[in-house]
Amino acid sequence: MNNVFSFEGIEINQDLLERTNPIFNTARMTLFQLAVAGHDDAMDIVEKLNLTKEDTQNSKTVKADEDDLFVNSVIMDVRYFTSGKLAKESGLTVVDLPCGFTPRALEFSKSGRKYVGMDLPATINEVEPAIMSLLDENQKKLVSFEGVDATNYQSLKSAFDKIDGEVCITTEGLLMYLTNSEMDVMCDNIKKILQEHGGYWITLDPEISFLYVLIVKAFYGDRTREIMYRSRFRIEDKSDVKAVRNTITVRVVGDVQENMRNAINYIASRGFKLERIPFADHVPEFKSLKNADPKIADHIKEGLKRVCIWKISVDESDKEEISDSGTESFDADASIDGDMLNLIMSGNLDSLSAPNLLANYEKIKKDNALRSVMIDCSKLEYVSSAGLRVLLIMHDGCRGGVVMKSCNERVREVLSDTDIKIK
């Protein structure tokens, strides 16, 4: 076969990264909300990046109003300080996964603490130079950034191998965007990292819906559903990624207790131990409520006793072997047969490999009149949401669409709600 794909010399520019992984848009959104809440470090980064309310908060079809911006700034304030306080108390090297545009690197380095930010390359390319330009030479020695995909074990291992000692991994604003298959891979990857380094994982995401309801209801009462719906639509429209229904994020509709049990059981099934820590035990006086009605502020603080952060560590008694999903490098062989592009894919199509696939596809399409794409998936182990996005771009870009054959169950699950044909 004459392979028309080449991963050598393909230019992966920022535009390509952003098209493949538009979720990074929410990182700018949350940074601006922290600045609105009154955080000086966040304001400094906003100014450095020349961000405005319009470009960070408005989506393609929805403008953020003052109510929406205010309530989200309160939520970001609680999230940011609680996660940071727990991370500081760990005494370990803190790894934000994903780091987004968080000002925590500034905060930690100014207090002499090590900080590692990990995120998709599209985000790191923008946030690293901005943060580093705000630090002095001694502070820069305490801060590092790594482009990774949480579902790609090799990228995580390469980044964590640069860290000595135990780690405190913090995950904030990520899990609600992962499918169950992506969650499986990410949990296995984090378990491997913690087995190698020691430490634990802190995440606010499983019970974040309770936090949103608590804060929105405290301020807006009967308008809670309206405000939450509009905010969720705006965020999904901005990122072009929908929050999904996965097992680990506890939904506040239906049988909430059963949803909670399922989430807790899921963590145990992945070989972890769980400690649920009330937000109220670790939230200082946050800036965003400084001018709020004291009764509302007290109501929120009382409610935070019922919403918990999850502290997750490896269950040493669990001897089940972790699968190899997320460890295989992506590769592809390609040939042209008339107006059909034939692809044989292997390994994992994720956020790191998807831009290469898209760049190659667009180069081939520019030079050839393609009508359809046939993909042999017999050696393809896994497809992330970013990989799926590229497959859908290919599908929509050809009259005959994309056909995928010999898919394993994990890949079939990812494709199940799409128009892509499976043979």
Indicate the DSSP class of residue 333.
Answer: E
Q: What pTM was estimated for this model as a whole? A: 0.88
Query: Which domains are delineated in the chain?
Result: 17-314 (3.40.50.150), 328-422 (3.30.750.24)
Closest residue by Cα to residue 100 from 35, 172, 13: 172
Distance CA 346, CA 34 (A): 41
Helical residues (DSSP H) of 118-207, grouped into ranges: 121-132, 137-140, 153-160, 180-197
- pLDDT truncated to tens, each residue of the chain (423 aa)? 467 777 666 777 888 887 887 777 788 889 999 998 889 999 999 999 999 998 888 888 888 888 888 888 888 888 898 999 999 999 999 999 999 998 999 999 999 999 999 999 889 999 999 999 999 999 999 999 999 999 999 999 999 999 999 999 999 888 888 888 889 999 999 999 999 999 999 999 999 999 999 998 988 888 888 888 888 778 777 766 666 678 999 988 889 999 999 999 999 999 999 999 999 888 766 777 777 788 888 888 889 999 999 999 999 887 776 665 556 688 898 889 999 999 999 998 998 899 999 998 998 888 888 999 999 999 999 888 889 899 999 999 999 999 999 999 889 888 887 888 898
Q: Which residue has the tokens 């994990």?
A: 410
Element (H, E) at 404: strand 402-405
Q: Spell out where 223-339 has E strands.
A: 272-278, 308-314, 331-337
Number of helices (H), then strands (E), belonging to the chain: the values are: 17, 12
- In terms of Cβ atoms closer than 10 Å to its own Cβ (0-12, 13-18, 19+), residue 151 is buried
Query: What is d(CA 253, CA 408) in angstroms, rounded to the nearest whole number?
Result: 32
- Inter-residue contact 202 to 311 (CB < 8 Å): yes
Q: In what order do the strands lie in the sheet with 402-405?
A: 331-337, 340-349, 372-383, 402-405, 421-422
Query: What pairs with residue 372 in β-bridges?
Result: 340
